[in-house]
Amino acid sequence: MASNLFEVHSAGSNPAGYVHPIAIEVMAELGIDISQHQSKHLNEFLDQGIDTVVTVCGNADQACPSFPGQVNRYHWGFPDPAHATGTPEEVRRVFREVRDAIELTLTAYLNGYRESAPQ
């Protein structure tokens, strides 16, 4: 979606150690293969030049440290689909809803970024 604009990393303050199988499944529905991704702790990135941090779940905004050189910080609060309950299809629906909400938010952010970028 924005690989030509950004180098993106994903990490958490309390990583599960694996990528949720339903997350892999619902991303594959959009042709996005995350099956080889790994759950990482945010400390793995503290020594890198990170200029924008986006937190997406629960208290992640409070748990995430400031990174050296960090310029921008955003919290896009989405429910954690890993906590969804119900039938397998109801849980998948929650994963899809969160996936789609993240996509809409990211698309709006990228559109604003492109409009404000120097030409």
pLDDT in tens, 11-68: 888 888 889 999 999 999 999 999 999 888 888 888 888 888 888 877 666 667 677 7
For residue 117, pLDDT beyond 60: no
Pairwise CA distance, residues 94 & 57, whole Å:
14
Query: Among residues of the chain, what percentage have pLDDT more than 70?
Result: 84
Amino acid at 92: R
> Helical H runs in the chain?
21-28, 60-63, 88-116
pLDDT of residue 36: 94
Q: Give domain limits for the chain.
A: 21-116
Q: How far is CA 112 from the centre of its chain?
A: 18
Superfamily assignment of 21-116 in CATH?
A: Response regulator (3.40.50.2300)
Task: Give the residue-averaged pLDDT of 102-112.
Answer: 90
pLDDT in tens, 68-99: 776 788 888 899 999 999 999 999 999 999 99
For residue 102, pLDDT beyond 70: yes
Cα separations (Å) of 31 from 1, 34, 53, 59, 113?
Answer: 12, 10, 25, 30, 25
pLDDT of residue 3: 61
Other C-beta atoms lying within 10 Å of the C-beta of residue 11? 16
Output the six-digit token pair for 47: 């020594």
Of residues 68, 70, 69, the one with CA closest to residue 53: 70
Amino acid at 2: A
Pairwise CA distance, residues 59 & 92, whole Å:
23
Contact call for residues 40 and 11 (beta carbons, < 8 A): yes
